[in-house]
Each structure stands twice: as structure tokens, then as C-alpha cells.
Chains A and B, each alone.
Chain A
């Protein structure tokens, strides 16, 4: 079992819809959780991180964490074609070295 699991997709949503991206992790000692966006041929860029159970909102993005279920998600409201990218989930445990999932490809169609 991989440490960080993501459905590779693609997830296709219409413009203006809510995109929901999911991630599960196996290490119960994981402490910090991250979402990165990676456009094709580009390097990852950090969107947001979350440490505590519950929701964290930043503009159109909301990260949700449920440590009991070992589950973290990213919601993108009012999805735009420019949001089309691969979204990488990453977790760390203490040492600040992230373990990445394989990413979910998101396609927002007009």
C-alpha cells in the first residue's frame, strides 16, 4: 500500500462547478498535509497546507482534514479552465520531508 493515495483521474468538471479532490494516507503519525498544483511540464507550486482537523479556506480553495479517517481533500469552488492541472497531495511527519501522492488530473471544461 502506497503511503499517500490519490485517484489519478482525470476528474472532469464544468466551468463554475465545485471540484473535489481526495487523498488518503497510511501513516497515522502524519502531522502536516499539503496540496500542490502542477501544470503540465511545470514544477509543483504550493496551494495550501493544513495541520488540524476541520476546514481551512483560502479564496476559492478549501482544504479539509479528517485525521481519524486519514483523509484530506481539496475543494475548488467556481472552477475555471485555468485550474486544469494535476493536484498533488503530500504529507509530512516531523522532519518536513513530504511524501507525495501520484496526483489527480483535473480538467475544467468551458
Chain B
């Protein structure tokens, strides 16, 4: 296991379509985070899981966004009825229970909504 992986790396979709992204964290990490980053900005927190429990969601996360981590391993982030404003890099990160502050980021999924 060499790190956090995310799929797909790029996604182009039309406005109104649904998209789903997957994140596989570092295997022993029990915390998993989702962020969104737009050009010229730092990552913005969306939500995080500890094991399978979703513990916090940002106010930024509209009802069109949903995330799951059903078995406490990989996680999915779904965006329904995509809008052009959803175009961004979606980053996943994970951390271990012994060092929550040290988050390791995946390569990200770049979403373009046409």
C-alpha cells in the first residue's frame, strides 16, 4: 500500500448529471476526509469519517452531495445534478488514530462540469 488512491483522476460531465468518486485510504488509517479545491484557493473541508461513521459535514456540503464509507475502508462521494460551480479538484485524505493531525492526501479527482 503506497498511499491514498482516488478514482477517476479526471471526470468531465454535463450539467445535471450525477457523478461518483472513490477514495481508498492508507489501509491502517481510520479517518478519511473529503475536500474541494478550486484554482488559487486552499482545500475546503467537506466531510470526514471515523471508521464507517460520518462525524462532521461542512455547511458547504449541499443536499446534492453525499458521502459514504460503508465498511470503514474505501469511501465514495456522489454529486447529484451537477452544476458548473461544482467544477473543482476533489481531494481525499486519511489519517491514523495515533496521529490524526497528519493527513495524507490522495492525487485528487478533477471534475469539469460543462
Contact = CB atoms under 8 A, between A and B. Distances in A.
Contact of B101 (A96, A101, A103): A96
B24 to A, nearest CB: 14
B108 A43 contact: yes
A43 B101 contact: no
B44 interface: yes
Chain B CB within 10 Å, residue with most, of A45, A46, A88: A46
B74 interface: no
B40 interface: yes
Interface in B31-65: 31, 33, 40-45, 48, 56
A34 B103 CA distance: 10
Interface of B: 31, 33, 40-45, 48, 56, 91, 95, 100-108
Interface of A: 4, 8, 32, 34, 42-46, 49, 88, 90, 92, 95-103
Given A43-B105, A96-B31, 18 more contacts: A42-B107, A43-B91, A43-B107, A43-B108, A44-B43, A44-B91, A45-B104, A45-B105, A46-B102, A46-B103, A49-B101, A88-B43, A96-B95, A97-B48, A98-B103, A99-B45, A102-B42, A103-B41
30 contacts: A4-B42, A32-B101, A34-B101, A42-B107, A43-B105, A43-B107, A43-B108, A44-B43, A45-B104, A46-B104, A49-B101, A49-B102, A88-B42, A88-B43, A90-B42, A95-B56, A96-B31, A96-B100, A97-B45, A97-B48, A97-B56, A98-B45, A98-B103, A100-B44, A101-B42, A102-B40, A102-B41, A102-B42, A103-B40, A103-B41
